[in-house]
A and B are shown apart, each in its own frame.
Chain A
């Protein structure tokens, strides 16, 4: 342990005693609208080698409490009460003394690893900076230590990563680098604020497994701030539930999950439980083909700088798919898998380099622009970013009414206004929101406005691109229920893109698994979740956190490291082979056929794997 940091107080305390103790911590902000209390009289303690998880929806004050501890509140913020770290009061500590604690004795990992790394410094330089600052080691020693750290956080190819910049790494790799920086000075406490929220489900599991390992190995105290109960179940020893700034329940993880005392905790635990059954409308799947994609491929030109011809990035390759009228089809996979590209190509919002998109017998890509625009009333879309997909200069009434002004020009102003109010009612929004601007709404309300805009024309196909990923737990449940109800009411087809397998399971009848823009598996939801045929599907399913503290820690131990290779240089043969535990030489040589595994006709289950028979 580095000697520079060890104070006499630290050494004299018994190991069992609490590392960090908050008592009556209150955080308030002075705003133009008055004083806003973000955290009310929070009392908590974290012991050595313990993981305390602080859960609650966004705005519950969980982040602000720990930013206050670290002295990182915004300028208008004020913290009262006490936060003692190994006997030292942190609140009101002068900056130099605080700096000795921050980074050295307490490490921090933030949600967005891109914005918390400095873009113009290499990974090696950023780690070395911390080592130099707190441990006064530089040069060769720092480089060796940085390499060790990157190996410890299981970053692939660590020697090369030292010289790379943050933008050259994937989100998961960046988060590993953040963790390496956080543990560089052998801290005793690690505060991780939503460390996995921005990551793919497979990478989430890897990062959580890493945190659990580090905790065990170094008797590290960990504060895991999250809204994801699946993550909590996997790594936390104790849980603290916060709501509106107050602590409402705390206890050992198993106890809180099994017998939550507070009604709000009960609601959270219920929302995190795996969905009971799939919504299935009998008979609807037997409808005629509404949307048919044939051998669809999309390429993007990637600039390689001045005077060099751009390379082609294959975002989607050979996707063939039929969606029946009234059917719901889910598209899952990791980011970069081509899900969003598929969603946009299906609506002819981008031009594929090969293949056909046929909607109700009409080839969308060959239609003249005017006719395609007229058809767009039937084909609508919901976007990932609820706020970003609404024009900031338009009111809710204008946004929801806009499709009518394009497609139902004959409608009189009064009739249009009435239709907007009626549509808002259907998405459970009051007409008092008509004159509001998007920034005045919550994330859930924004997404409802987006849904209202898409639904006001009664579309026959609704494409949803990650409609829930920007929302917190309870809001996700509400929006999911809303989509389910609207679909039942209107009988439209649904193409749902999501990295969240639980969402797809609840809403869709069939699921398509994409990896590097290629189809891996297509099956009825029931069989995909109970009998996954493709190794990639199995990996995805294994990575889904289960909000059960009895099962999840064991599941986390089994996660394998690995991320998709660059789509600029996809592997030969089966693109998944580089991560597949069952890969043989044949997998590198031939592209697997799109084989039928069960069922018949258009609705048959299919898989693209050489070895699916032996493996199942």
Chain B
């Protein structure tokens, strides 16, 4: 009987139950957790550092019997450690940036959509203006001000671009929801606007936002690698999945493992995140039984 007591507990608890029942989503979540754990634990434990050079083994191919399981790059750096610290950095940046962009976008879009009228117009035109600015321009200015290669700049830059799309999606959904009779029923009950947003609008947006967020994470990983490639993101000797894949792509013919190892991790992350997103969407929709 806690349903009536805690209005939201029901939805989230039920969603968790449905997610647990979804084997594919659970598998994806488990694999994600395993990779994340490995990325956290393995680099400190390993005898190698992400920037230590092993002059005896330059461009060594991978092998379980070798000193370096995933091989080394041209400078003799251990790819196992570099890839995992790349995973760590990429996950950190993309998760934080996704949280930032989804959080801002959700709040902005839901507020604008629910307020309607002139407020809505101004808020969404502001989004349009930001959309029309070349984001690289923003990133370059930010880097110039704060300093190149700073993770904070990367986060802000990626988040600042990402939330615009979220805001638009949420805005459209909110406007459609607002016209539904149950929102009017909530107003007739005497719920203040804030409560309507939190209790009725946001839970009904949750499915869409969850899917969008899990799709945003891989997007952020790719965007980070793009910025790194331009020299605006993570800089050597620090490793991210983006700059590892870039470096690997240049050695594709002579040392393919340099591309394949980080790329395999990226693929695993992206597939898992997408499967998890689908699972979340189904779990958050009581109609999907």
Residues of A within 8 A of B (CB): 347, 349, 369, 372-377, 379-381, 383-385, 388-395, 397-398, 400-407, 413-414, 416-417, 420-421, 434-435, 437, 439, 450, 453
Contacts and interface: CB of A to CB of B under 8 A. Distances in A.
Nearest to B1: A417
Interface of B: 1-7, 10-11, 14, 180-182, 184-192, 195, 199-200, 203-204, 206, 284-287
B7 A405 contact: yes
A383 B1 CA distance: 26
Contacts of A381: 185, 188
Nearest to B8: A398
Contacts of A394: 7, 10-11, 203
A450 B185 contact: yes
B203 A376 contact: no
A416 B190 contact: no
A407 B204 CA distance: 23
Given A383-B181, A389-B181, A397 B188 contact: no
Contacts of A377: 190
Contacts of A402: 7, 186, 189, 191, 199
Contacts of A379: 188
Contacts of B11: 393-394
B1 A434 contact: yes
B47 to A, nearest CB: 51
B5 A417 contact: yes
Nearest to B203: A393
Contacts of B206: 393
Chain B CB within 10 Å — which of A369, A405, A450 has the most? A405
B2 A413 contact: yes
A315 to B, nearest CB: 16
B287 A395 contact: no
A401 B4 CA distance: 5
Contacts of A439: 286-287
27 contacts: A372-B190, A376-B188, A376-B190, A381-B185, A381-B188, A383-B181, A383-B184, A383-B185, A384-B181, A385-B181, A388-B181, A389-B182, A392-B182, A392-B204, A392-B286, A397-B1, A401-B3, A402-B186, A405-B4, A406-B189, A413-B2, A414-B1, A416-B5, A417-B4, A434-B3, A450-B185, A453-B185
Contacts of A417: 1-2, 4-5
Contacts of A376: 188-190
A316 to B, nearest CB: 17
A421 B190 CA distance: 22
A377 B190 CA distance: 7
Given A391-B199, A393-B203, A417-B4, 7 more contacts: A377-B190, A381-B185, A391-B186, A401-B3, A404-B4, A434-B1, A434-B3
Contacts of A392: 182, 204, 286-287
A301 to B, nearest CB: 11
Interface centre among A347, A384, A394, A405 (most CB of B within 10 A): A394
Contacts of A380: 188-189
B200 A391 contact: yes
A398 B190 contact: no
A420 B204 CA distance: 23
A417 B4 CA distance: 6
Contact of B204 (A372, A385, A391, A414): A391
B195, B199, B204, most chain A CB atoms within 10 A: B199
B286 A437 contact: yes
Given A394-B11, A397-B3, A403 B286 contact: no
Contact of B286 (A388, A393, A407, A434): A393
Nearest to B289: A440
Nearest to B187: A349
A390 B199 CA distance: 13
Contacts of A369: 192
Contact of A349 (B10, B188, B284): B188
A395 B10 contact: yes
> What are the 3 closest A-B residue pairs judged by CB atoms, nearest first?
A376-B190, A401-B4, A413-B5
Contacts of A384: 181
Contacts of B191: 373, 402, 406
Nearest to B204: A393
A421 B4 CA distance: 10
Nearest to A435: B3
A400 B206 CA distance: 22
Contacts of B188: 347, 349, 376, 379-381
Contacts of B3: 395, 397-398, 401, 434-435
Contacts of B181: 383-385, 388-389
Nearest to B2: A413
B4 A416 contact: yes
A406 B1 CA distance: 18
Contacts of A349: 184, 187-188
Contact of A391 (B5, B182, B284): B182
A417 B2 CA distance: 8
B139 to A, nearest CB: 36
B73 to A, nearest CB: 50
B170 to A, nearest CB: 16
Contacts of A406: 189-191, 195
Contacts of A450: 185
Contact of B10 (A372, A373, A385, A398): A398
A347 B192 CA distance: 16
Nearest to A420: B4
A48 B138 CA distance: 76
B17 to A, nearest CB: 11
A480 B59 CA distance: 82
B190 A373 contact: yes
Nearest to B180: A388
A249 B181 CA distance: 39
B153 to A, nearest CB: 38
Contacts of A385: 181
Nearest to B192: A373
A420 B2 CA distance: 11
Given A383-B184, A392-B286, A392-B287, A407 B190 contact: yes
A420 B187 CA distance: 20
A390 B189 contact: no
A507 B185 CA distance: 23
A402 B11 CA distance: 14
A112 B46 CA distance: 69
A101 to B, nearest CB: 37
A422 B21 CA distance: 33
The winner among A372, A391, A403 for most chain B CB atoms within 10 A is A391
Contacts of B195: 406
A173 B259 CA distance: 66
A105 B287 CA distance: 40
A402 to B, nearest CB: 6
A450 B189 CA distance: 11
Contacts of B4: 397-398, 400-401, 404-405, 413, 416-417, 420, 434
A400 B7 CA distance: 10
B10 A397 contact: yes
A425 to B, nearest CB: 14
B190 A374 contact: yes
A467 to B, nearest CB: 12
A434 B3 CA distance: 8
Contacts of B192: 369, 373
A389 B188 CA distance: 11
Contact of B287 (A389, A404, A437): A437
